Structure 1
Amino acid sequence: MFKLKTLSAMTLGAMLTLPAQAASVADTPLYLNIDQQAVNDALRLQPSGSAQFKVTTRLEKGTYQIQIADKARSCGTTFGPEASKPLPFGTPNTMSACAKDGHFKLRVLLAGDYDFTLDNGNPQAPTLKVLRATKKGAFKRQPPAVDCASWDGKPVTVSVAKTWPNGTLLRDAYSGQTAKVVGGKITMTPAPHSEGVLLLEEAKPTAKAAFTWDNAIVYFMLTDRFNNGDPSNDNSFGRQKDGKDEIGTWHGGDFKGITQKLDYLKDLGINAIWITPMVEQTHGYIGGGADSSFPFYAYHGYWALDFTKIDPNYGDEAALKTMVDEAHKRGIRVLLDVVMNHTGYATLPDLQDLGLESLAQNTQSLPARWADWRPKGKYEGWGSVSQFYNYQSPDWVKWWGPDWVRAELPGYPAPGTGDITGSVGGLPDFKTESTQYVDLPYFLKHKADTNAKSLPNATVVDYLVKWHTDWVRKFGIDGFRGDTVKHVEPKAWAKLKAAGTTALKEWKAANPGKKIDDLPFFMVGEVWDHGMAKDFWFDNGMDSIINFDYQRDALEFAQCMSNVEPTYVKYAGTINKDPNFNVLSYISSHDTKLFFGDYQDVALQRRAANSFMLLPGGVQIYYGDESGRGLMKDGGVFDQAIRSDMNWSELASGEKAELVAHWQKLGQFRQAHPAVAAGSHKKVSDKPYAFVRQKGKDKVLVVFAGRQG
C-alpha cells in the first residue's frame, strides 16, 4: 500500500490497474472520487489480493460522497450504489459498475487516514469497504488557528502588589528559579519546555497538603492495556490472541502491572487511581466490527459474568490486596469501576464452562474446547460463532433468568425504550427497578467457584449492592466510579453509596495501620453528556459527576491558555463555593476520544496539560495523556482506537520522556497546593495573562507569557 502525498482530501485518488479476469475494467485507470473530485496525478497501486485494490486518504471530520470511477465516469467503470446510501465502516458494500450519480455517503467522526478497498474478484458484484488506517503518513494535521498573545522567549514581568509584599521570595515550581518581589512586581523567564508558563509559589518549606476529593488527581487506566506484570495469567478460560491486529483481545495488563508502576504514578502527582471493573468477565468473545473482522472479548471489564470473583486475567485476591496496600502506602486512593445496569453477553465458552451445553447447537462441529473455535473460509467471520447458539431453547432460564434481566431470549421480558428499561449496547439489562425478591440465578447456584450466596428477601439491586461492597469491606477500596448511571434508578445508587460507606468504615476500623485517613467512601458517576451542573444525582449517592463539557473546549484551551479564563471563573465560582458539589473533568477517555490522537503533537499535549492541570475541581488523566500514547487499529469500531497499550517503550528518552516530565511538574504543583483545585480564582493581569488561586493560607500565582515562536 502506498500513501498518497497530496494534502487536500478533496483531490486524493489512486489509479487501479485491475486483473485480466476482471474483463469489464481490465487496464482501466480508476480513481477514488471524493465529493466528485479525483486526483489528476494518479498513483499505480499493486493489488493487495487477487482482485483487491486499496487506496489510503486523509479525511477530516465531516460527511463525504464516495465513488470509484474512471476519468470519464463511464458506465461499466463507475462504481457506487445504484441509489445513494450510507457507507458503513468495515462492511463490504456491493456496488453497481454503472452507478452514474449514485454515491456512498461516508460520515467521518474522527479525523485521520482511511483505507478504501475495492474487491472486484466477482465482476458482477464488486464491493467497496472502508476502514480507519493505522499507518502514519507524511501528512501532519494542524489544529484550527486560535488568536493568542505571542511570547518572544524573554523575561516577563507581572504586578503582584496585591498578592505578596515587596521582598517576598518566589519560586517557579516548574524551573526551580527564584526571584524577589520588587516594586510590587516579579520578573522571571518561563522555562523553555514549559510552553510559556510560570507556576509561582513562595520559596519556603511547606507542610504536605491534606488530601480531599476536592483536589483529586485521578489516573484512569484500562487495566488490561496498562502494564503486564504477570504473563502467566494472560490466557484465562482459553482466551487467545487473534494473530492479527489484536483489537479486541486481552493484552495482559493486570494488578501486578499496576503495582509495578505506582511509583511512576506518584511522581505524576497522582493521588487516586480508577481501574476498570475487575470482576470475572464473560469467557469468550462476540464478533467485533461491522463485518465481524475481529474477536471482541471483555478485556475492558464491562461484560460481567460473576460479580463475586476477580477475573483471573487481572490476577487473584492476593495480587489485588498487594496493589491496594501499596497504593495506600504512597498516598494513592483506589476507585473501582462498578456496573449496576447490565451484565455481559452469553459467549460460547461460557455455556460450556457453566454446564449450559443445552443452550448450544451444532456442537458436533465444535472443537473439544469451545473456546478454541475459529472462523474458517472467506465468508465466515468471528460473529459466525452465533451459529452455535440455540436461541429457541427454553433452557435459557438457567442463565440469569427472567426475574433478573431483560433480554431478547425465550421467556425473558423484552428490553424497553427508556433509560431505565432499555438495553445499553444490546446487553442484558438488570431489572434494577424491580421490588420483587429473587433467588440466585440458576447458573450461579451451580457455579463451583462462585462466592455468591442466596440472600433472604433480596431484590436484584440488593444482590448487586452486596457483591460490589464486599470488595470494599475486604480490601479497603476507597470509592466507586459508577458506570451508565442514568440507566439505573437514583435510589439504587443511593443504596450503593450507603452500603459502601459502611463497608469502608468497617475496613478502616479493622485495619488502622493500613488506612490513609478517615475520609468517607467516595462515589463519582458517569451520566452520559452531563456537564457542569448540580442536580438530583448529588442527592442520590454521588459526590461528583464526570464532566463532559471540558473536553469539547480542550483543544482551544490547549492552543491558548488565556482563553480558559471564563471557564476558570465559572468552575471556581461554582464548584469551590459549594462544599457538596464537584465534577471530574478530562481531555481523554475510553469512550470519547484520545486528545493526543487527533494531532500527534507533543508541544500541543504540553499546552493541553497547562490549561487542564490548573483547572478548578477534580481532574482525570486517561492513561497516556501524559506520555503521548497513540491510537491503535480499530477495525471500524472507533472507540477501540483509543484503547491502545500504554507506550512504556517510548518513555526512556526523547520528546515523550520530556512530555512526561512536564506533566509530572504540573501534577506535583497541583497536589502540593490545594488552592489550585479548591481555591478562589482572580485574574491579576491580561498581558501577560496571570491569575491567583487562594485557599486559606495556600496561595499561588500562575503566569502565561503567550505562545512562543
Structure 2
Amino acid sequence: MRPLPPVSPLILALCFGLLAPVVQAEPQVPIRLDGQPLQPTWETLADNRFATILELTEGQLRFGDDAARPEPMKPFLRHSLTTGNGYEFSVTEAGRYRLLVQTGEDASLRLLPIRQHREPPEPVCQPWSGGAVQVPVTGVFEDGQRLRDAYSGDTAIVENGQVELTPAPGSDGLLLIEAADLAPAPPRDWRNATVYFVLTDRFANGDPHNDRSYGRMPDGEQEIGTFHGGDLKGLTGKLDYLAELGIDALWISAPYEQIHGWVGGGDDGDFRHYAYHGYYPLDYTQLDANMGSENDLRALIGEAHARGIRVLFDVVLNHAGYSTLADMQHFGFGALREGMAQYLPARWTRWQPESHENLHAYHNLIDYEHPDWARWWGKDWVRAGIADYPAAPSVLVDPLQGSLAFLPDFRTERDTPVGLPHFLRHKQPTRAVELDGYRVRDYLTEWLTHWVREYGVDGFRADTVKHVEKATWAQLRDQAEQARRDWSAANPADPMAGEPFWMVGEVFGHGPAPSDYQTNGFDALINFAFQKEVAGPGSDCLRRAESGYRQYADLLARHPGHNFMSYGSSHDTALFSAEHGGDLALQRGLANALLLSPGAVQIYYGDESARAFGPTGSDPFQGTRSDMNWDDHHTPRIAALLAHWQRLGQFRARHPAIGGGTHRQLSEAPYAFVRQQGEDRVIVVQAR
C-alpha cells in the first residue's frame, strides 16, 4: 500500500473531534456495510484509542470518506487514517469483528476477525455418483430450447424449467451448459481475458544458435539461474498450442536487452543468476540476443494476431539491472580494487570463488567508491549508494524511492532533465539517443512505447507498480495509447488494428477491489487474493469457490470498467502443483476454479500440464521457473489433464459472460450457477 501523506494534528483533531477540553470524543469514522451506515458503540481503551465489536454479514464494508476512492483493507494490519481517504473490506464470512481505532497524529484503524468455535462443517465436496443430473434453468433458458454441454457435446431440451444431462466421464461431474444454437460471437471483453504468462527462456527453444549470447554459459550443475534457450521463435512455434487452450493474450517476459553477466543467486550465493527472467534491464531499445531478432518479434506478434492472441510485454520502470563483472569489463564502467585484477581470468565473467567463498564474493574485487562508476548509469539516473550516487533505503522504509533487492533505483520522480547515461552513449548497438529536455521517466517511457509503435505490442504487464509514483505510470499509459494509434494507422490490415492498449499492474499483495491505480493508467491489477483464498478450495470443488465468485462478480457489476487478473500459480509466489503435491485431480480442479472465475485470469505456463517445481537453491522462487514439461504431454495422464484445460479454456473464450457477466447461484444440489452478460448466458454445474 502506498504511504498516505502526512496530516497535521490540528486537522486530525478537527476530523475526530479531539479538541473537547475534558471528555475524549469518540472517533467519527464513517462505517457502511453494503451502503448501510453502522452505528458502533465505542469502548475507550486508552488515550486516543478506541474499540468496538461489529456484527457483520457478508458484503462490502466501507470505512472513511464516501467521496474517496477506497483502498483495499487487509485484516489484522494497521491502516493509516487521514482526511479524505477510505478503505474497503470484503466480508466473505459473517461473524463478529473487532475494530480498533487510534485518533490523533498517528490516526489508524485495524480490523480483527474474532474466531468463533464452530462444529466442523459437513463436507461440501462429495464424489459424483456418475448418474444423470437435473438442472433448474428457469429464467435463463426457455422450455423447448435445446442446450448443449460443451464438455461432452451432448444436448438436451428444456422441459418444465429443467434440463437433464449426464456429465462426461473424467469431468468430475462438470457440465458447461450453453445454447446449442449459438448466437453470433459477442464482443470480446478484457474482463473475460485468458492471459498465458510465459518466461520465454524456459518455454521453447526455436533457435539454438542464440543460446550463448554475450558469452553467457551454463554452469554445468543444476542450471538454476542460467539461460536455458527459450526464445521468441520458440514461442511462435507454440501459438497453435496456446490457441487450443483458448488463450487470447500472451504475456511474455521482457525481451529487451538484459545485463550480460551474472550475480550471485539466493541468500547463499550458491548459483549463477543471469537475467533470464527479464527483470534486470540494460538497454530498453534493443532486443536481448538470447530472445532472437527483430524479425522474430515481428513474426511472433503477426502470427499471434492472426490467431486472435494479443502480446503483452513485461515492463520495468522501477529499477535497472545489477552491475556484473561481464558488463564492467565490456562497457568499461566501475573499477577493481587495487591488486585485484590478478584474481580474475582474461574474461572476468569466468571468475570462480575460492573453496571457502560463495558467488557473492566477487564484490570483494570491486572498488565501489571509484569515480569511474560515473561511466555506468550515473548519479542523475539511479540511486545506488556507490561512489557519489545517492543512497537508496529499503523499499520497506520508502516504497517509492527505496531499493528493491539492492537493485539500482531509477529516479523517475525527478523533474530535472538528464543526459544519456555514459555507457549508453558509447554502446553499440543501441537506439538510445540524447533528447533535449528529457527527464529519466521521459527516456524510459519513450523507450518502452517504441515497441508498441513499431511492432504492435498490445499491452504491458507492469512490474513493481507500487514502487513508482503513479504519475509516471499515467505518463507511460498516455504515450502507449498514442503509440498504439500510430501503429494501427500504419498497419490497418492487422486483425488487432484499432484495438486500445491494455495495461495490467503488479501491486504486490493487492486483491480484487478497485483502487486509484486504475485512474492512473491501469486497466487491471493482478489479484493476489485468488491464489490464497479461492484456488485451493475451488480446486476441491466449485461450491467452495462460490463466495469468491459472488464477491468478484459483484465488484465488476458495481464498478463499471473495473477489472482484475486472478492466477493460481506465479513466478513470485508459488507453483500450484508444488503446493498440492502434484495431485492431478486438484490440478484439473484448478482449471475449473480459475477458468470459470469472474474477471481476467492468468495461466502460468505449465499449470495446464502440472509442470513440476525445479531446482531452487537458496532462493525459494527459482523452482517455480522450471522448464516447460513438453515431454510429459505425451503421457496419458497429462494428455487427459491438458484436454480438460482445453475444453474449459475454449468454453470461456466463447462466452464473455463468464468473466464479465452477473453471477447467480441456481441450486445447491447440484451446485449450479448462471453467468449472464446481455444475450450471452451460460450455466455451470458440478454434480458433487
| Aligned residue among 496, 503, 514 for 1:534 | 514
Out of 448, 451, 457, which is 2:431 matched to?
451
Counterpart of 1:507? 487
- Contact 2:261-2:325 within 8 A present in 1 as well: yes
Amino acid at match of 1:565: E
Pair 547,146 (structure 1): closer, same or farther in 2 beyond 3 Å: farther
Larger displacement relative to structure 2 (565-574 or 222-231):
565-574
**Match of residue 653, structure 2, among 650, 662, 671:** 671
Q: C-alpha separation between the residues in 2 aligned to 1:447 and 1:388? A: 24
Inter-partner Cα distance in structure 2 for 1:575 and 1:596: 29
CA distance in 2 between partners of 1:300 and 1:583 (Å) = 23
- In the alignment, which of 564, 576, 583 is matched to residue 564 of structure 2? 583
Matched with 1:632 is 614
Quote the Cα distance in structure 2 between the aligned partners of 1:534 and 1:324: 31
Report the CA distance between 1:358 and its aligned residue: 3.8
**Cα offset, 1:448, TM superposition:** 2.2
Residue 419 (structure 2) pairs with residue 442 (structure 1): no
Q: What is residue 80 of structure 1 aligned with on the other side?
A: none
1:428 aligned to which of 408, 415, 423: 408
Match of 2:273 among 284, 296, 306: 296
Once residues 211 and 227 of structure 1 are traced to their aligned partners in structure 2, the CA distance between those partners, rounded to angstroms, is 29
1:573 to 2:550 alignment: no
Q: Which residue of 1 aligns with 2:131?
A: 154
Within 2, Cα distance between the matches of 1:512 and 1:498?
A: 21
Per mean C-alpha deviation after superposition, the further-off stretch among 351-360 and 408-417 is 351-360
Cα deviations by residue, 1:268-294 (Å, 9 ceiling, x for unpaired)? 000000011111111111111333211
Native 8 Å contact 2:189 2:660 kept in 1: no
State whether residues 550 and 585 of structure 1, in contact with CA within 8 Å, keep that contact through their aligned partners in structure 2: yes
Q: Deviations 1:458-493 (Å, cap 9, x if unpaired)?
A: 110000000000111110001111100000000000
Correspondence for 1:655 among 637, 640, 654: 637
Q: Distance in 1 between matches of 2:530 and 2:561?
A: 20
CA apart distance, 1:679: 0.9
The question of whether the paired residues in 2 share the 8 Å contact of 1:209 and 1:671 is answered with no
Question: Could you tell me which residue of structure 2 aligns to residue 365 of structure 1?
Answer: 343
- Are the counterparts in 2 of residues 526 and 546 from structure 1 also a CA contact under 8 Å? yes
Distance in 1 (alpha carbons) for counterparts of 2:589 and 2:334: 56
Q: Distance in 2 between matches of 1:557 and 1:267?
A: 24
AA aligned opposite 1:259:
T
Q: How does 1:293-442 map to 2 (within 5 A)?
A: 293-356=270-333, 358-359=335-336, 362-375=340-353, 377-416=354-393, 417-442=397-422
- The match for 1:120 is none
Q: Which residue of 1 aligns with 2:578?
A: 597
Identity percentage over the alignment?
50
Distance in structure 2 (CA, Å) of the matches to 1:331 and 1:659 = 24
Alpha-carbon separation, structure 2, partners of 1:278 and 1:389: 29
- Counting only pairs closer than 5 Å after superposition, residues 89-488 of structure 1 correspond to structure 2 as 147-356=124-333, 358-359=335-336, 362-375=340-353, 377-416=354-393, 417-488=397-468
CA–CA distance in structure 2, aligned partners of residues 145 and 474 of structure 1: 58
Cα RMSD, aligned residues only: 1.5
Which stretch of the first structure deviates more once superposed, 253-262 or 555-564? 555-564
CA distance in 1, matches of 2:137, 2:335: 77
Looking at structure 1, the residues matched to 136 and 308 of structure 2 have their Cα atoms a distance apart, in angstroms, of: 37
Match of 1:536, as an amino acid? D
Residues 238 and 372, structure 1, Cα contact 8 Å, conserved in 2: no
Q: 1:61 is matched with which residue?
A: none
One-letter identity of the residue aligned with 2:456: G
TM-score (norm 2): 0.80
Shift of 1:210: 2.7
Other structure's SS at 2:220 match: coil
Change (3 A) 1:649 1:145: farther
Which residue is 2:477 aligned to?
A: 497
CA spacing shift, 1:343–1:684, aligned 2, 3 Å:
same
Kept after mapping to 1: 8 A contact 2:527/2:565? yes
Residue 623 (str. 1) matches residue 600 (str. 2): no
- Structure 1 residues 215-238: Cα deviation after superposition (integer angstroms, max 9, x where no partner): 111000111111111111011111
SS of aligned partner of 1:668: helix
- Segment of structure 1 superposing worse, 506-515 or 205-214: 205-214
Distance 1:627 1:172 in 2: 24
- 1:291-334 CA distances to partner (integer Å, 9 max, x unpaired)? 32111111110001111111100111111111011100100001
Number of equivalenced pairs = 562
Normalized against structure 1, the TM-score is what? Answer: 0.78
Cα displacement string for residues 372-402 of structure 1 (whole angstroms, at most 9, x for unaligned residues): 2233x42232222223322221111111111
**What's the offset of the Cα at 1:153?**
1.2
Tell me the equivalent position of 2:22. none
Q: Give secondary structure in 1 for the equivalent of 2:217.
A: coil
**1:689/1:225 CA distance change after superposition, 3 Å:** same
Contact 2:128 2:172 in 1 (8 A): no
Q: Is the partner of 1:445 in helix, strand or coil? A: helix
Aligned-pair distance for 1:209? 3.7
Map Cα deviations across residues 89-109 of structure 1 (whole Å, 9 max, x no partner): xxxxxxxxxxxxxxxxxxxxx
Partner Cα separation in structure 2 for residue 705 and residue 186 of structure 1: 14
Distance 2:351 2:186 in 1: 55
State the shift of 1:161 in Å.
Answer: 2.5
Residues 334 and 368 of structure 2 are in contact (CA less than 8 Å); yes or no, is this contact kept in structure 1?
no
Measured in 2, the distance between the counterparts of 1:341 and 1:146 equals 47
Residues 149, 177 of structure 2: 8 Å contact kept: yes
| Structure 1 residue 577: Cα displacement | 4.1
Partner in structure 2 of residue 85 of structure 1: none
Counterpart of 1:46 in structure 2 is none
Q: Could you say what secondary structure the match of 1:312 adopts?
A: coil
The DSSP-based 3-state class of the residue aligned with 1:194 is coil
Structure 2 unaligned residues grouped into runs of 5+: 1-120
| C-alpha distance in 1 between matches for 2:212 and 2:123 | 48
